[in-house]
Copies of this chain bind each other. A is one copy, B any other.
Amino acid sequence: MKTKTSANLDDVFFPRNVAIIGASPGVAYPLALLGGKLRDRLFMVNPNSTEVFGRKSYASILDIAEPVDYVILTLPAKYAVQAVRECVQKGVKAIHSFTSGFSETGLKEGIEMEKELVSIVKGKARLIGPNCMGIYCPKSGLSFNPASTHEEGHIGVISQSGTFAQFFIHAGRSRNVKISKIVSYGNAADLDCPDFLEYLADDSDTRVIALYIEGIKDGRRLKSALEYAGSKKPVIALKGGVTGQGGRVASSHTGALAGAGETWATMFRQAEVVQVDDFDDLLNAAVALNDSPLPAGKGVSIITYSGGFSVVQTDMCVKAGLDIPQFSAKAVEELRKFVPVSGTMVGNPLDAWQLFYKYEEKDGTLKDVLRIIAGEKDVHSIILQFDVIRFMLNMWGDKFEEYFAAVAEKVLQGCHYARESGKLVIVSMFLDPFAENEIERKYNLLFKKRLESEGFPVYPTLNDAVRTVASIYKYTEMRRKKLLQTG
Q: Select from chain B the residue with minimum beta-carbon distance to A442.
A: B436
- Cα distance, A342 to B305, chains bound together (Å): 51
- Cα distance, A254 to B344, chains bound together (Å): 10
How far, in Å, is A15 (CB) from chain B's closest CB?
25
- Contact of A253 with B by CB under 8 A: yes
Residues of B within 8 A of A323 (CB): 245
Decide yes or no: A460 and B438 within 8 Å by CB, A252-B345, A307-B253, A345-B253 being known contacts.
Answer: no
Q: Is there an interface contact between B243 and A319, defined as CB atoms closer than 8 Å?
A: yes
Q: Is there an interface contact between B308 and A101, defined as CB atoms closer than 8 Å?
A: no
Residues of B within 8 A of A245 (CB): 314-315, 317-318, 323-324
Q: Is there an interface contact between A249 and B162, defined as CB atoms closer than 8 Å?
A: no
- Cα distance, A433 to B238, chains bound together (Å): 23
How far, in Å, is A259 (CB) from chain B's closest CB?
13
- Contact of A246 with B by CB under 8 A: yes
Chain A: residues with Cβ within 8 Å of the partner, total of 80
How far, in Å, is A193 (CB) from chain B's closest CB?
14
Residues of B within 8 A of A146 (CB): 394
Stretch at the interface among A59-67, A168-176, A360-368, A413-421: A168-176
How far, in Å, is A163 (CB) from chain B's closest CB?
4
Q: A residues 357-412 with Cβ under 8 Å of B?
A: 394-395
Q: Is there an interface contact between A438 and B435, defined as CB atoms closer than 8 Å?
A: no
Q: Select from chain B the residue with minimum beta-carbon distance to A240.
A: B311
- Contact of A448 with B by CB under 8 A: yes
Q: Is there an interface contact between B243 and A310, defined as CB atoms closer than 8 Å?
A: no
Q: Select from chain B the residue with minimum beta-carbon distance to A448.
A: B434
- Contact of A484 with B by CB under 8 A: no
Decide yes or no: A431 and B434 within 8 Å by CB, A309-B163, A343-B101 being known contacts.
Answer: yes
- Cα distance, A175 to B436, chains bound together (Å): 11
Residues of B within 8 A of A310 (CB): 249, 253
- Contact of A476 with B by CB under 8 A: no
Q: A residues 265-318 with Cβ under 8 Å of B?
A: 277-280, 305-312, 314-318
Q: Is there an interface contact between A163 and B306, defined as CB atoms closer than 8 Å?
A: yes
Q: Select from chain B the residue with minimum beta-carbon distance to A324.
A: B245
Residues of B within 8 A of A314 (CB): 241, 243, 245-246, 248-249
Question: Contact residues of A with B, CB < 8 Å?
Answer: 26, 77, 100-101, 104-105, 107, 110, 131, 146, 159-164, 170-171, 173-175, 212, 214, 238, 240-246, 248-250, 252-254, 277-280, 305-312, 314-319, 323-324, 326, 341-343, 345, 347, 349, 351, 394-395, 430-436, 438, 445, 448, 458, 460, 463
- Cα distance, A146 to B432, chains bound together (Å): 18
Q: Is there an interface contact between B249 and A311, defined as CB atoms closer than 8 Å?
A: yes
Q: Is there an interface contact between A345 and B249, defined as CB atoms closer than 8 Å?
A: yes
How far, in Å, is A325 (CB) from chain B's closest CB?
9
- Cα distance, A279 to B387, chains bound together (Å): 15
- What are 29 A-B residue pairs whose CB atoms fall within 8 Å in the complex? A26-B395, A101-B342, A107-B341, A131-B343, A160-B308, A161-B306, A161-B307, A161-B309, A163-B307, A163-B308, A173-B435, A173-B436, A174-B432, A174-B435, A214-B311, A240-B312, A243-B315, A243-B318, A245-B317, A245-B318, A246-B315, A248-B314, A250-B311, A253-B310, A279-B309, A430-B433, A434-B445, A434-B448, A438-B438
